Amino acid sequence: MDQVYQLITLLSVLLYWVIIIGITVRVVIRRRSIGVSFAWVMVIYVIPVVGIVAYLLFGEQNIGRTRALRAKEMYQPYADWFSHLFTLRQYQPTMLSEYAQTVGKLCENHLGIPSLADNSLMLKSSPQEILTSIIKDIDSASESIYLEFYIWHPGGMADEVANALINAAQRGIEVRLLLDSAGSYQFFRSQWPKRMQSAGVELARALKVSPLRVLFRRMDLRMHRKIVIIDNMTAYTGSMNLVDPSCFKTNSGVGEWIDVMVRIQGSSVPLLNAIQSWDWEVETNQRFLPKPPICKPHSIDEKLDLVQVIPSGPGMPEEIIHEVLLQSLYQAKHKIVITTPYFVPSENLQVALIAAAHRGICVNIIIPDKNDSLMVEWASRSFFSELLEAGVKIHRFKGGLLHTKSVVIDEAFSLIGTVNLDMRSLWLNFELTLAVDDLKFTQELTSLQQEYIANSSLIDAQQWHKRPVYNRITEQFFYLFSPLL
């Protein structure tokens, strides 16, 4: 009997090391950044059982076999749709600024999506203004309303949006609503899905969550885009979920969430509609490719809000938004201002920020003073010392959970959308970014960022270096989990 136990023990140990070594080899051959690969290996060896389970669940991008096959079949029709945009007069590559030219070329060659002129953008920064504007546009819709959000949380003005959609469907408007299954968990447990569907609203769950699905795809891969399309003429996108901040996570201790949305009219709206249609088709197998932008009968003489729409995530080039961010940072000549709620940058982004500071550029990063994710808050701090030593200014926003995701380069070129500066947004989630080549819009965004800075405290580098040793240990411990954040 003892020999049997010894044999079982030996086989168990052998199996354990086979699994450890096998996963280690897989981490290495995936050829991700050295920092990410090393962090995964550390997690796997320091806390083996947790590390192995975490890697199997979260370590590799996997949207599931059905979605992958469907996306492969969808590729050519959508590629043809996007390629048609290059024939429009709104495609004006010679009108792009120096900043936008390189980003535009990157997106043309890598994504097959051009930047388009002839847009009108409005920056909206208060939740009441945003939701009131969306409701007004829903009420005035004559043909179609399509919405896509990560979180829809019932309560407050979010319920007013729901009622507006029900009223629109009842008067014969085509209404489609795509919500992330995990992010909108509270919505799907409420009365609203049944009420909406009874009124004629088409409702779909993105990336459904269940114990069985864990075996087939990553559970932390989420639909993080925020899109509203009205009549293929008006669109919204930005950082705000479909929530009323006065009713959302009120007990989290971080204050109300602070967001922005961009209201868009013009040639980029059908493009955003096509991205929403892609997401809908991946989930439902129903195709609703929109009409492309109308070709202008005359040349466009004025540079009017040139916009590059940048979708990222599964189905898109893996590095696209990371490359856009790096390209933008390395082009800066005077000033960089970044706002992000979750700051767990890649090694390359950290190097780019430090290099910018070293060449005399004023680099400002604005993050929330309090975060709703304890792991992210501690992991973020592990990056501060090197940045502060290089001269980067880090501001901690005091007026709530700053959820705005924006980058402004030299007060002349801006990126705004759904992407956080963390691993999940950069390489995993379905995200959406606008690269805006328009001075007026960028100056408005710059003014908003300055309001954030005025309501923030600047981290003092000398004081930071005096923080307790246990803080440093905690920071480095959570840094090990940065691939999951």
pLDDT for 55 equals 72
* Other beta carbons less than 10 A from residue 478's beta carbon: 20
Instruction: Evaluate whether 65-91+119-295 and 320-484 have a shared fold.
Output: yes
Residue 202 has pLDDT above 50, yes or no: yes
Residue 172 has pLDDT above 80, yes or no: yes
pLDDT for 483 equals 66
Which residues have C-beta within 8 Å of that of residue 96, sequence separation ≥ 6? 104, 115, 306, 437
Residue 214 has pLDDT above 60, yes or no: no
Quick one: 218 exposed, middle or buried, by C-beta within 10 A (0-12, 13-18, 19+)?
buried
Distance CA 478, CA 373 (A): 12
pLDDT for 484 equals 65
CATH number of 320-484: 3.30.870.10
pLDDT tens-digit readout, 302-311: 556 899 999 9
DSSP sequence for 10-22: HHHHHHHHHHHHH
Distance CA 239, CA 257 (A): 10
Question: Quick one: tokens of 14?
Answer: 């052998």
Classify domain 65-91+119-295 by CATH architecture: 2-Layer Sandwich (3.30)
Average pLDDT over residues 219-227: 84
Using pLDDT thresholds of 50, 70 and 90, give the confidence band for residue 1. Answer: low
Cα 248 from chain centroid (whole Å) = 20
Residue 215 has pLDDT above 50, yes or no: no
Distance CA 276, CA 323 (A): 23
Using pLDDT thresholds of 50, 70 and 90, give the confidence band for residue 445. Answer: very high
Distance CA 377, CA 100 (A): 33
**What single letter denotes the amino acid at residue 466?**
K
Decide: 222 and 207 in contact? Cβ < 8 Å: yes
Q: Which pTM value belongs to this model?
A: 0.89
pLDDT tens-digit readout, 287-298: 999 988 876 655
pLDDT tens-digit readout, 386-404: 999 999 999 999 999 999 9
Using pLDDT thresholds of 50, 70 and 90, give the confidence band for residue 216. Answer: very low
pLDDT tens-digit readout, 321-333: 999 999 999 999 9
Q: Dihedral (C-alpha) 250, 253, 254, 258: value to the nearest 10 degrees?
A: 10
Distance CA 407, CA 410 (A): 10
DSSP class of residue 402 equals E
Cα 122 from chain centroid (whole Å) = 20
Residue 51 has pLDDT above 80, yes or no: no
Decide: 381 and 484 in contact? Cβ < 8 Å: no
Residue 212 has pLDDT above 50, yes or no: no
pLDDT for 15 equals 78
Quick one: 87 exposed, middle or buried, by C-beta within 10 A (0-12, 13-18, 19+)?
exposed
SS3 235: strand
* Rg (the chain; Cα; Å): 23
Decide: 305 and 121 in contact? Cβ < 8 Å: yes
Average pLDDT over residues 49-67: 68
Just list the catalytic residues.
224, 226, 231, 403, 405, 410
Using pLDDT thresholds of 50, 70 and 90, give the confidence band for residue 427. Answer: confident
Between 63 and 80, the higher pLDDT residue: 80
Using pLDDT thresholds of 50, 70 and 90, give the confidence band for residue 218. Answer: very low
Question: Quick one: tokens of 296?
Answer: 């202008």
CA–CA–CA angle 233, 236, 397 (5° rounding):
160
Question: Mind spelling out the 3-state secondary structure of 425-484?
Answer: HHHCCEEEEEEEECHHHHHHHHHHHHHHHHCEEECCHHHHCCCCHHHHHHHHHHHCCHHH
Q: How far is CA 87 from CA 80, 81, 266, 293, in A?
A: 12, 11, 16, 11
Which residues have C-beta within 8 Å of that of residue 124, sequence separation ≥ 6? 130, 133, 238, 260, 261, 262, 263
Decide: 335 and 411 in contact? Cβ < 8 Å: yes
Every domain of the chain and the residues it spans:
2-58, 65-91+119-295, 320-484
**What single letter denotes the amino acid at residue 373?**
S
Mean pLDDT of all residues in the chain?
89
Reported as half-sphere exposure (CB side, CA atoms, 13 A), residue 474 has a value of 12
pLDDT for 17 equals 78
